[in-house]
Amino acid sequence: MHTIYAACVARSPTVKLRRERWPTPDGDFIDLDWLADAPGAAAAGTAGEPPFIVLFHGLEGSSQSHYARTLMHAVAERGWRGAVVHFRGCSGEPNRLARAYHSGDSAEVDWILARIRGSVPGPLCAVAVSLGANVLLKWLGEKAEAARDVVAAACAISAPMDLVATGNALDRGFNRIYGWNFLRTLKRKSLEKLTRYPGLGDARRIRHARTLRSFDDHVTAPLHGFVDAQDYWTRSSSKPWLKRIAVPTLVLNACDDPFLPADALPAPSDVSAAVTLQFPRYGGHVGFVTGRFPGSLEWLPRRILRFIEAVIDRSDRTAHRVA
């Protein structure tokens, strides 16, 4: 099932979160929603501190997205710790600067993960969805071995790893509904920014954008230093970086994901030995709804946390052998 169905029909749990605002290095801010402490459950592995799960959301997502709520609920049930990072302008309040966030902004992920690593004990594990998953995979590839000093494991869910293929797919047929859904908020935010930054863009072109390609041509690309949408998508795609990933990483995409056609998915030869590829036949884009109508969203968080737990247990066993 696709993400629109999952968000509107299948039920996602309510979780208790605490908001914290961080200033960015360039004078802006981001908001993080931290999971309230969960009582009781045992830590993964034998290292003492339970894992800390940091989640990066997808395009126009937030801590209230169905996948964020279900994952944080599962994290809390295990007695683990976690937080949802909001990209700039996605926490319910406009960010201060003209710039926003984009699919290749690995520098943003870098400073966020470094700050979290410096403030929380125990294994830090990064999970990301859709746009956030592409950014995380790009960061993992760029950092290569150095990423192992920051995160113990990573999971990328429904990542549009080939953004050119994604852009082309979302321009066709029924898939255009997904683009229109995102454009509702993207266009509204961009027009609001024009009132604060006159000359930042062309309001008429923004209003008349009917595809993500058109929006990225006129807004995302020039705002973030790219020539056009094609340049932005090409330079921001994570697929070319997958061979450099050193952190144990799960890449989970459904073969029926409308955002990335099955023929654009990476082959085993496209990734490093640290990457586990899982491409179920069904699941749509961040859907993975199981069971009878209206369905359950529990499969995805269970799969993510099982992968992370296995990586940490393996690391603990290796550490004991070395000791």
Which one of the listed residues 130, 190, 236, 238 is annotated catalytic?
130
Same domain, 278 and 139: yes
- Predicted confidence (pLDDT) at residue 54 exceeds the cutoff of 90: yes
Same domain, 245 and 205: no
- Predicted confidence (pLDDT) at residue 4 exceeds the cutoff of 90: no
How sure is the predictor about 36, in pLDDT bands with cuts at 50, 70 and 90? confident
For residue 39, the model assigns a pLDDT of 43
Angle at 33 between CA 29 and CA 36, to 5 degrees: 150
Q: How many residues does the chain have?
A: 323
CA 148, CA 143: separation in Å to the nearest integer?
9
Which of 208, 236, 264 is at the close of a domain? 236
For residue 288, the model assigns a pLDDT of 94
Same domain, 116 and 208: no
Lowest mean pLDDT of 88-92, 121-125, 152-156, 169-173, name the range: 169-173
- Predicted confidence (pLDDT) at residue 247 exceeds the cutoff of 80: yes
* Per-chain mean pLDDT for the chain: 91
- Tokens standing for residue 115: 């700050």
Lowest mean pLDDT of 17-26, 67-76, 229-238, 293-302, name the range: 293-302
Known catalytic residue: 257?
yes
How many domains are there within the chain? 2
Structural domain containing residue 191: 163-236
Same domain, 12 and 117: yes
For residue 10, the model assigns a pLDDT of 60
Across the range 272-291, mean pLDDT stands at: 96
Across the range 137-149, mean pLDDT stands at: 98
Lowest mean pLDDT of 68-77, 179-188, 243-252, 256-265, name the range: 179-188
CA 102, CA 9: separation in Å to the nearest integer?
28
Sheet containing strand 124-129, edge to edge, reads 17-23, 29-35, 81-85, 52-56, 124-129, 153-157, 249-252, 275-278
- Predicted confidence (pLDDT) at residue 47 exceeds the cutoff of 60: no
Same domain, 134 and 281: yes
Which one of the listed residues 33, 105, 162, 257 is annotated catalytic?
257
Across the range 91-107, mean pLDDT stands at: 96
For residue 164, the model assigns a pLDDT of 97
Same domain, 87 and 191: no
Same domain, 82 and 217: no
CB 69 within 8 A of CB 97: no
The predicted-structure confidence for 185-207, as pLDDT tens digits, reads as follows 999 999 999 999 988 888 999 99
283 Rama class: left (phi>0) / alpha (psi -120 to 50) / beta: left
Question: In the chain, what percentage of residues exceed pLDDT 70?
Answer: 91
Full DSSP string of 149-212: GT-SEEEEES---SHHHHHHHHTSGGGHHHHHHHHHHHHHHHHHHHHHSTTSS-HHHHHT--SH
Same domain, 252 and 141: yes
CA 170, CA 272: separation in Å to the nearest integer?
28
Same domain, 120 and 155: yes
Helix, strand, coil percentages for the chain (3-state, nearest 5): 45, 15, 40
- Predicted confidence (pLDDT) at residue 12 exceeds the cutoff of 80: no
CB 112 within 8 A of CB 55: no
Which of 203, 236, 269 is at the close of a domain? 236
Known catalytic residue: 130?
yes
CATH code at 108? 3.40.50.1820
- Predicted confidence (pLDDT) at residue 9 exceeds the cutoff of 70: no
By C-alpha distance, which of 31, 55, 30 is closest to 286?
A: 55
